[in-house]
Structure 1
Amino acid sequence: MSNLNDLTALALPSGSRLEADETENRLSLSLDGQSLVQLRLSRDPELKVQREEGGHLDTSAVWAACYWLFARDPACQRLVWQLDEAPTEALLSGLLIPTQTAGHFRCERTLFWQLPQPWRVQSMTCSYPQQMVISDGKRHPLRPIKPRGEVYRRFDARLGMWISLRTVDIDADLARFNRWQNSARVASFWQEEGSLEQHREYLSKLEADPHTLMLIGSFDDQPFAYFEAYWAKEDRIAPFYDAGDYDRGIHMLVGEENHRGPHKVASWLSALVHYLFIDEPRTQRVVAEPRADNAKMIGYMQDQRFFREKEFDFPHKRAALMALGRERFFDRCELV
């Protein structure tokens, strides 16, 4: 794993590279070798940021500096910017918040990581409009058309690797999915062993289901995991807890043995939850229902701040209801 104390550059999903030269009192940022901004830093009692030469800063430079400083120090919860004038876009988006002191604006870590760009690859400028509908006897919001292709990408500075999510391509992913499901370790929990044709039927059914999104997780563009993200209100889990209209649920499968372990789980599970929260700002909770005896997975989820609310009985298993609220996830958010 990479040491954040040695961090000198961060890769962006756009392909650009943010490079930094930082001292105790100075921060110089460059983007793709071109100087972006020169800043003065003051660290008593909290981190204050000021442009070296004063004048106007655009939103992209403010965002880049916030990203660098938050990634560089996961314990940093707030930056105070001293600016003659804050960029309008930064104020409208919540990147910067006015304070009671003239010329002082704060950037909160908990707000920064809720901004969808640039992590959410297929981003809309506003939420999908709400219309309540009834399907299969369940009343829920009309769901948007499911995306296709890559939906999330972020460089994990701790691992020194890209973590990304894309939608399943049945033809391209079928053999991989079949191999994963037929491994003894996965089969012991998923119980979905079968032939290629059985798995094609399984995936095709979910592809046609508007309440479930199938995702492939990759490290450095190498697929290692399969995830299902579903709208809880329309799912079999809904009768077992007070499901919100925009709650999302997850099923998780790590197929490649070389990507197992707590440090990898911390990366992909936080990325998956992050994607679901920034994909729909009305989502207040992400839930899961692993088998109640899957102590290892439950422990990993608790490490990522999921709360074990209760146990309950599905027809096919005794399950633990694991839940993580938006406020809890973003409060002192540990993404880098």
Structure 2
Amino acid sequence: MSNLNDLSTLALPSGSVLGADETQTRLSLSLEGQPLITLRLKREPELQLQVEERFSRPAGQAFWAACYWLFARDPACQRLVWCLDEPPTEALLSGLLVATDIVGQYRCERTLFWQLPQPWLGTSITASYPQQRVISGGKRHPLRPVKPRGEVYRRFDARLGAWVSLRTLEIDNDLVRFNRWQNNPRVASFWQEEGSLEQHREYLSKLDADPHTLTLIGCFDDQPFAYFEAYWAKEDRIAPFYDTDDYDRGIHMLVGEENHRGPHKVASWLSALVHYLFLDDPRTQRVVAEPRADNAKMIGYMHNQCFHCEKEFDFPHKRAALMMLGRERFFDRCSLA
């Protein structure tokens, strides 16, 4: 795992590299080796930033880069205060900065910063997809958008020192891998989906045709290690067991590669998965899961990521724990780096 105190660069999903020279009182940032912005820092009583020099890049890009660097550098930092001579129009319109009661002073809140979808989110129309209620399977719910294809989320995890990304599952490319994972005794004991390639092709094809479920492959440094199912809870079998909102998302999780197990890896991929679902549609207020009630290790990992157990309940095939994480709680306690 990387030491955040030793950070000198951060990679962006675009392929660009953000570089920094930081002291107690000064921060100079560059993008791809080109100067971006230089700030004077005042750290007490809270971190205040004043522009010393800004170069040819757009102001919004420079302000965003500084906020990203400082929040990634210190996951405990909750707020930055900017002292600016002119109103930062672009940053105010996007929500990156918020005006305070003091003229010339603006704040950036961690809880707001990590809700900005770019640059982490791949091409997505979900957030702007109009609402129309339909009935399917006897359930009334919003019409769901066409499912995305390809990479949907990418972020460099500065704490782990690795890229964490999510892409949609492609049956022809991922079937053998999925089959191997499902036939692992450790996985099979909880998923109970072991079987042949033909059975698993049928399983995945059914989900691919189902508008309420999105199948995802999780990657570290572009190497697949996990399989996830993200579903709209309103149309799912979980709906009768709690007061389901129209845009609640649910998750099923499977880590297939043994070398990517462990709490530090779970903290990275689980926070990334939840972050993606909250960014994908700002109307999503909760992410839920229903692991087996006796899966103490997974439930413990979820508690560590701010999920709480709402209750236990009985599915036909298992005793389940209803794990729940609200949007406000996730971003208020967000420790993404």
Short-chain TM bin = over 0.9
Give the CA deviation at 1:92.
1.1
**Residue matched to 1:159:** 160
Question: Structure 1 residues 125 and 238, CA, compared in 2 at 3 Å: closer, same or farther?
Answer: closer
Deviation per CA, 1:118-169: give whole Å up to 9, x if none. Answer: 0001144952111111111101111000000000000000110000000000
Letter in 2 for 1:223: P
One-letter amino acid of the structure 2 residue matched with residue 110 of structure 1 = T
| SS state at 2:173 partner | helix
Residue equivalent to 1:26: 26
Measured in 1, the distance between the counterparts of 2:193 and 2:268 equals 26
TM-score, normalised with respect to structure 1: 0.98
The 10-residue stretch of structure 1 (46-55 or 280-289) with the greater mean CA deviation from structure 2? 46-55
Structure 1 SS opposite 2:128: coil
- 2:41 is matched with 41
For residue 303 of structure 1, report the CA deviation from its aligned partner: 0.5
Which moves more between the two structures, 165-174 or 121-130? 121-130
Q: State how far apart, in whole Å, the 2-side matches of 1:126 and 1:259 are.
A: 31
Alignment of 1:69-148 (within 5 A): 69-124=70-125, 127-148=128-149
**CA deviation profile, 1:190-221 (whole Å, cap 9, x unmatched):** 00000000000000000000000000000000
Contact 1:97–1:105 (CA under 8 A) maintained in structure 2: yes
Is 1:249 equivalent to 2:255 in the alignment?
no
Residue pair 1:77, 1:332 contacting (<8 A) in 2 also: no
1:85 and 1:195 map into 2 onto residues whose CA distance is 64
- How far residue 53 of structure 1 moved from its aligned partner, in angstroms, is 3.9
Alpha-carbon distance between aligned partners in 2 of 1:289 and 1:161, rounded to the nearest angstrom: 29
Query: Which residue of structure 2 aligns with residue 63 of structure 1?
Result: 64
Unaligned runs of 5+ in 1: none
1:16-57 CA-to-partner distances (Å, cap 9, x unmatched) read 000000000000000000000111111110000111047996
Contact kept, 8 Å, 1:54 with 1:84, in 2: the verdict is: no
Q: Tell me, yes or no, if the aligned pair for 1:3 and 1:158 is still in contact at 8 Å.
A: yes
Query: Residues 109, 327 of structure 1: CA spacing in aligned structure 2 closer, same or farther, 3 A cutoff?
Result: same
For structure 2, list consecutive stretches of 5 or more residues without a partner in the other structure.
none
**In structure 2, distance between residues paired with 1:316 and 1:147:** 31
- Cα distance 1:272–1:54, how it changes in 2: closer, same or farther (>3 A)? closer
CA contact (8 A) 2:248 2:284 kept: yes
SS in 1 for 2:224: strand
Distance of 1:53 and 1:135 partners within structure 2: 57
* 2:274 counterpart of 1:273: yes
Q: Helix, strand or coil: the match of 1:84?
A: coil
Residues 332 and 85 from structure 1, CA distance in 2 versus in 1: closer, same or farther, beyond 3 angstroms?
farther
Q: Does 2:304 match 1:321?
A: no
Q: Match of 1:309, SS?
A: strand
Other structure's SS at 2:310 match: strand
Q: CA deviation at 1:84?
A: 1.5
- What is the TM-score when the length of structure 2 is the normalising length? 0.98
Detail structure 1 runs of 4+ shifted over 3 Å in the superposition: 53-57, 123-126
Residues in 1 aligned to 2:214 and 2:335: alpha-carbon distance in whole angstroms: 26
| Counterpart residue number, 1:262 | 263
Distance 2:70 2:259 in 1: 31
> What percent of counterpart residues are identical?
81
Residue 9 in structure 1 maps to residue 5 in structure 2: no
Q: Is the 8 A contact 1:251 1:288 kept in 2?
A: yes
Q: CA–CA distance in 1 between the matches of 2:233 and 2:94?
A: 28
Q: Give the corresponding residue for 1:298.
A: 299
Structure 1 residue 86: deviation in Å? 3.2
Contact conserved, 2:96 with 2:112, CA < 8 A, in 1? Answer: yes
Q: 1:125 to 1:236 in 2, by over 3 A?
A: closer
Q: Deviations over 1:214-244 (max 9, x none)?
A: 0000000000000000000000000000010
Contact 1:80–1:104, Cα closer than 8 Å, also in 2: yes
Cα–Cα, structure 1 residues 35 and 182, in superposed 2: closer, same or farther, change >3 Å? same
| Superposed displacement of residue 332, structure 1 | 2.9
Amino acid at match of 2:12: L
CA change 1:125–1:149 in 2 (3 A) is closer
CA distance in 2, matches of 1:205, 1:198: 11
CA distance in 2, matches of 1:125, 1:224: 26
